[in-house]
Amino acid sequence: MAQLSLTLLAMSLASSGLRGSEPAWRGLADPVVEDGWIRPPAGGRGAKPVWGFAEGLRIGLAPLPGPRGLLRVYTPYVGQPDWRMINFLAVEPIAQGRTDRCFSELEPSSLAEGIGKVMWSADQPDDWTPRSPAHPARGVTGAENGVRTLTVFLGIERFQNGAAVFLRLTFRADRPWEVQIATFTQPTSVPLSYCVVTATMGNYARLRQLHLADGVVTAHDLFADATFSAIGFAAHKRFGLERLPRGLDGAVILAATSDEQDPAGADQAAVAPGWRYAGRPATQYWRCDQPPPGLLALVNARRTYWASNNPIPGGVSFENVELITPFQAGQTWTFGVTPDPPVALLGAGRAVGDPKK
């Protein structure tokens, strides 16, 4: 019976476009703007999977440009060209009884050819049958304490360690430069110790400054004597809750910035085109509104761009930036990208990115 079920699932996935070559992304229907949101058009088939703000931050999935298994973060308001990501978000679950992470963009898929877990979208968290990412849900509009919201759920195919997770993305109209990300397990998942959501392309913006409660630490200082692995990563540096800045509302905020006044204006002639930073400098950050006692901040670093020997202009920079805590269903993180300096994130009652400020 199990083998028959797997065979039927494989046939279903093949017919839905998950197996074999992904559809050409430019041929997919463009998102539409409705009431300030950007979302896939009605119909749900053959459309670009992207959600967020018409004038703010957006999240997309493959088959939009980039590796499968990663959320794309688009920030056109800081001058990024259309469909150019300022960062990726990866999902890295750790099963109970283990210490090793699985990597959503690096694990082989059992649903499609090659590496990278398939991610798909849904309007409700009640059906986790894999489906084509190019048949996206529109997301559900609503309100929370009088604030308009757009919510979409993302399913992720089962990891090799048995983790089966899904995400809830929520966009709030009063915070157009942010997305809230809540993590959950699907019914078939093994128990988890952690479900890490990590910003995984800090090298693109050449993030080198981490803003802590007791001052700024730099990638140059943290990784001056680091040993880099065969694929170019230095081991994580960790910071406990006592080192992390707090807003007046008690939220923990971990912000990272470039040490360059104008990263787009740097000499990038020797940098591969896809890694050349475009647009204005910005602050990238994680926020945890209700930080638990075991919260940690982690960063690692690279000297060369991913999958190359191409040195990063200006030297070592952060690659992964994340907040982690032992897994609890519904744990919510906020990821944001703002043109404001990090100090502006610490004020109470201020909507980060509020266009009325």
Q: What is the pLDDT of residues 103-114, one digit of tens each?
A: 999 999 999 999
- Residue 355's alpha-carbon distances to 19, 75, 256, in angstroms, are 43, 15, 22
pLDDT on residue 188: 94
HSE of 230, CA atoms in CB hemisphere, 13 A: 0
The answer, yes or no, to whether residue 16 has pLDDT greater than 80, is: no
Point out the least confidently predicted range of 1-10, 46-55, 270-279. 1-10
From the list 249, 103, 74, the residue with the least C-alpha distance to 163 is 103
Average pLDDT over residues 146-157: 97
Average pLDDT over residues 281-292: 96
- Residue 60's alpha-carbon distances to 54, 64, 194, 226, in angstroms, are 13, 7, 24, 34
Average pLDDT of the chain?
90
**Tokens encoding 143:** 């309100």
DSSP string computed for 246-257: B-TTS-EEEEEE
Q: How far apart are CA 114 and CA 308, in angstroms?
A: 20
Q: How far apart are CA 335 and CA 181, in angstroms?
A: 8
- Residue 299's alpha-carbon distances to 58, 167, 235, 295, 343, in angstroms, are 24, 22, 8, 14, 20
The residues with which 34 forms a beta bridge, in sequence order, are 37
Kindly report the pTM of this predicted structure: 0.91
pLDDT on residue 23: 55
**What is the torsional sign of CA 201, 353, 268, 234?**
negative
Q: Are 326 and 307 in contact (CB under 8 A)?
A: no
Q: How far apart are CA 248 and CA 345, in angstroms?
A: 10
- CA end-to-end span of the chain, whole Å? 61
The answer, yes or no, to whether residue 29 has pLDDT greater than 70, is: yes
The answer, yes or no, to whether residue 242 has pLDDT greater than 60, is: yes
HSE of 147, CA atoms in CB hemisphere, 13 A: 14
Q: How far apart are CA 138 and CA 129, in angstroms?
A: 17
Confidence of residue 45 (pLDDT cuts 50, 70, 90): confident
Residue found by looking up tokens 């990024």 in the block? 80
**Tokens encoding 61:** 């999935």
Percent of the chain residues topping a pLDDT of 70: 90
Percent of the chain residues topping a pLDDT of 90: 86
Q: How far apart are CA 93 and CA 91, in angstroms?
A: 6
